[in-house]
Amino acid sequence: MSLTQQVDDWLLKEALGKPRLETIFEQLCQRLNGIGVPIARARLNWPTLHPLFRAEMISWHRNQPSAVLDHFHHQDANTDAWQRSPLRYMLEADLPVLRRRLVGPGHTLDFPLFEELAAEGYTDYLALRTEFSEPGMFMEGRPGGIIVIWASDRAAGFTDEDLRVLQEIQQSFALACKSIIQSQITSNIVETYLGQKAGRSVLNGNIRLGGGATTRALVWYSDLRNSTRLTGSLPSEDFLQLLNDYFECAARPAIRAGGEVLAFIGDAVLVIYPIDEETDPEAITARVLDAVGESFKMRDEANAVRAAAGRDLIEFGIGLNIGEVVFGNIGVPERLAFTVIGSTVTEVERIEKLTKSLDTNVLASANVAALVPGRWCSTGLHMLNGVERQMELFTLCPETQAALGLAAAAE
């Protein structure tokens, strides 16, 4: 068996497992050097389907300890570096191969990158492109697949045999990449629409109707105020922009504090913080309290921008509760939702609805207030719609509001 065939067989075996793409690429570079192909620098690029990233890249240098994963954001497509990139040229010209000698007779430095590589001591550049289908690429009008870039610093560059080896292993490497990339895109999609913890639970096989578990959790519920008036008075594009501005304020700090956004229910946000034997409920509640402060700071900043543009302002309330919840699948077998249900969730929704009538932005149950004593002030006992017993509710004390930098509640 030839050395090249050994590399091919190794790649196919790796594709059957669950390896990290960075690990495979790093080992591939090392194996190629081991059989005499002079790789000094390598890049692996591929488009992805992700709400934040347009593409991903793995970089490897012979003198670095390990390969490095980088992300390209959606806005990076408009940068000068991309516009002048040889990869952009390859895609637009539909080229499967791009080869440039960087030094000596016949060298061609027709892109700024090649000038930089030549100045750094590289002598040869080879880019190989292999297309394959990927979820979402057709809708975005982008080709799926990989582009692998090999660079050498050997004085003579790549030999014809080196080029043959690199092109021969390209197909096997593309198959390994396709398996890993499509699995990652599936995870991206599931976690984007269900949340990280719920998404992982579903991918691990929890897709049966009624499947789930009872757990203790702190539940955050936020709801936009005046939504009925805003829906009727604003053009749909303006209302969608207001909703997204609101969701950024109401959900982003909750996520940073370790929460899992389980659902956007119309113009409401449902966030859960599971509490088990290994978690500290006091620490979680303290983080959530800081997140509440950050949420309303972001609201004030967003409203300053919206007011300057003559747009309607964002107002919302937040309810907090702690108790047992059922975390799992509801619906019908053909269409499931992974969410939380139970009296704790019902109560927190009703708690939030009282924020407007009690002229406050935040209300919490006694279970929440007890975990961070001295930060909350009682508003007395209240009947919640659909809840038989009265509940004592708490709002932030003036000192706490001042410490969090909160303005007074909106009228």
Query: In this predicted structure, what is the pLDDT of residue 23?
Result: 92
State the Cα–Cα distance between residues 241 and 224, nearest whole angstrom: 13
The first and second tokens of residue 272, run together, are: 């859960």
| 49 Cβ contact list (under 8 Å, min separation 6) | 134, 135, 136, 137, 140, 185, 188, 189
Mean pLDDT for each 10-residue chunk of the chain (411 residues)?
81 80 94 94 90 88 90 77 90 94 93 96 97 64 84 96 94 89 79 65 62 83 90 88 93 92 84 85 92 94 94 94 83 70 90 92 94 92 85 92 68 38
Considering the chain, what percentage of its residues have pLDDT values greater than 70?
Answer: 89
Signed CA dihedral, 181, 185, 186, 188: sign only? positive
State the Cα–Cα distance between residues 122 and 110, nearest whole angstrom: 15
The first and second tokens of residue 222, run together, are: 């936020």
State the Cα–Cα distance between residues 344 and 325, nearest whole angstrom: 6
Strands 390-396 and 362-365: antiparallel
The first and second tokens of residue 361, run together, are: 């932005």
Query: In this predicted structure, what is the pLDDT of residue 192?
Result: 67
The first and second tokens of residue 330, run together, are: 């509801």
Helix (H) or strand (E) holding 275: strand 268-275
From 401, 346, 356, 375, select the one nearest 219 (Cα to Cα): 346
Query: In this predicted structure, what is the pLDDT of residue 410?
Result: 42
From 247, 259, 246, select the one nearest 289 (Cα to Cα): 259
Query: In this predicted structure, what is the pLDDT of residue 203?
Result: 63
- Cα Rg for the chain, rounded, in angstroms? 28
The first and second tokens of residue 158, run together, are: 């790549």
Amino acid at 280: D
Fold exhibited by the domain 196-404: Alpha-Beta Plaits (3.30.70)
Tell me which residue has tokens 């590399």: 7
Query: Do the Cβ atoms of 60 and 67 come closer than 8 Å?
Result: yes
Query: Do the Cβ atoms of 257 and 267 come closer than 8 Å?
Result: no
Report the b/e string of 152-169 with b at 16+ CB within 10 A.
Answer: bbeeebbeeebbebbeeb
Query: In this predicted structure, what is the pLDDT of residue 348?
Result: 93
Query: In this predicted structure, what is the pLDDT of residue 182?
Result: 84
State the Cα–Cα distance between residues 246 and 368, nearest whole angstrom: 24
From 275, 279, 254, select the one nearest 264 (Cα to Cα): 254
From 186, 348, 218, 350, select the one nearest 291 (Cα to Cα): 218
Partners of 335 in beta bridges: 332
pLDDT in tens, 99-123: 999 999 889 999 999 999 999 999 9
State the Cα–Cα distance between residues 88 and 73, nearest whole angstrom: 15
| 27 Cβ contact list (under 8 Å, min separation 6) | none
Query: In this predicted structure, what is the pLDDT of residue 196?
Result: 67
Q: Which sequence spans correspond to the domains of the chain?
A: 3-193, 196-404
pLDDT in tens, 357-408: 999 999 999 999 999 988 999 999 998 887 878 899 999 998 888 888 775 4
From 7, 359, 285, 335, select the one nearest 164 (Cα to Cα): 7
State the Cα–Cα distance between residues 33 and 85, nearest whole angstrom: 27
Query: In this predicted structure, what is the pLDDT of residue 409?
Result: 44
Query: In this predicted structure, what is the pLDDT of residue 213?
Result: 73
Sheet bearing 146-152, strands edge to edge: 68-73, 53-61, 41-47, 146-152, 124-130, 97-101
Widest pairwise Cα distance in the chain: 88
CATH architecture of the domain 3-193 equals 2-Layer Sandwich (3.30)
State the Cα–Cα distance between residues 243 and 249, nearest whole angstrom: 10
| DSSP assignment string, 260-308 | EEEEEETTEEEEEEEE-TTS-HHHHHHHHHHHHHHHHHHHHHHHHHHHH
State the Cα–Cα distance between residues 272 and 218, nearest whole angstrom: 6
The first and second tokens of residue 154, run together, are: 């050997």
